[in-house]
Amino acid sequence: MPYTRQEKENSQPAAMNTLTKRTFIGRLLTSLGAPVVFLDRLPNGVIPTALAQESGLLDDVPDYKKQLTILSDRPLNAETPAHLLDDSITPNHLHFVRNNGHIPERAKKQDLTGWGLTIDGEVERPRTFTMAALKREFPHQTAQITLECAGNGRAGYYPSASGNQWTLGAVGCARYSGIRLRDLLNTLGVRQSAVYIGYYGEDPHLSRDPNKHPISRGVPIEKALDPHTLLAWEMNGQPLPKEHGFPLRLICPGWPGSTSGKWLKRIWVRDQVHDGTKMTGSSYRTPTHPVEPGESVPESDMAIIESMPVKSLITSPKTGITTPQGKDIEIRGHAWSGSGDVERVDVSYDFGATWQTTNLSSAPNRYAWQRWTCQINLPKKGYYEVWARATDSQGKAQPMIVPGWNPKGYLNNAMHRIAIKVS
């Protein structure tokens, strides 16, 4: 559950905390206009989410993405407010955008003239494919896949980590169509020396220097050959939108969104771990052991992020609603995990003192998020918070607070919480 800057300051140790409990309670009563039910059960250091201030939209948001919150416009990075992620399949116009360079002119024009995908390196028969060849020579696959930026939730870390200050909305679950990457690689003959793949896209570097790549990441050959890893040309039944990788992108489900490279033009099969842009240093890596917040971590103590952690999102109702006393409230959202299915989702409205198990639907296919719903009835007038906690098939559950600090603010899977006032 991401914090605002004020919340981060308030969650520090007592010696650093200038907000006394008496002042804090006074602010609650003034700001919320209602008594906080179960205030005695509110854990130390946790600030009610209704005190957080929401960031606004920028004026220059692209028309079809106008409901998203823009974090930067060069490159374009935009997240989706949680209440707009209520669809089981995220519409194209509501899907978050994470770019590292400029959008290619080809994507803007939706033009395939001169395009090809080159596969080379540790394969017996390197080849460049046209889109027609890809569609003609390999079986087509369609799957609903959850993609999430590794930095989703970065705004919750203290001390602050550099990078886009994503809150909750750098995630979406769309339906992608294309082919299995392994079908293509097996046709070309993967050598035993193959260790990793690295992708290259057509997106220009922000400097427009043709010798620089804005990003070039990859995955181990085992992940590349996984039957769920795709080369996709459609998103929700339409050609990939310009922001989402036209004409072709990788889909590496369950792993950070940065491994699902866009605007593909080359896949390099390598005999070593790929060392392209944003594959080295601290990029998309976390410490191999717990570290003190703010500590400098040597590269030798950092490991590449692979599976994303279990997580859930409350998509309805929108945080901050007021509801009449005695009325049942439907709470719903999604849950997902990079390492397998979600086994259960529980919610609490008394700051975690008690929990209620929700109705959890099965995923339509592996790596799609799962819908969960429940009904609650808040007992009396006042301010409440609803917290959601997902547990995956490996028994891993979301933490109540922001997990272990890391230099780049990755993998924050703290429980989502929303505010509800009973009038």
Q: pLDDT tens digit string along 311-364?
A: 999 999 999 999 999 999 999 999 999 987 999 999 999 999 999 999 999 999
Tens digits of residue pLDDT in 223-252: 999 999 999 999 999 999 999 999 999 999
Banded pLDDT at 27 (limits 50, 70, 90): low
Domain ranges of the chain: 93-154+170-280
Contacts of 270 (CB under 8 A, 6+ apart): 121, 122, 194, 195, 196, 197, 198, 218
Give me the architecture of the 93-154+170-280 domain, per CATH: Alpha-Beta Complex (3.90)
The torsion angles phi and psi of 226, rounded to 5 degrees, stand at: -65, 135
Longest dimension (CA), the chain: 72
The mean pLDDT value of the chain amounts to 90
**Does residue 383 sit in helix, strand or coil?**
strand
| Nearest to 218, CA basis, from 271, 168, 141 | 271
pLDDT score for 54: 38
Percent of the chain having pLDDT more than 70? Answer: 87
Q: Does 174 have pLDDT greater than 90?
A: yes
Banded pLDDT at 56 (limits 50, 70, 90): very low
Tens digits of residue pLDDT in 104-130: 999 999 999 999 999 999 999 999 999
Whole-model pTM: value is 0.87
pLDDT score for 26: 61
Is the preceding peptide bond at 290 cis, omega within 30 degrees of 0? no
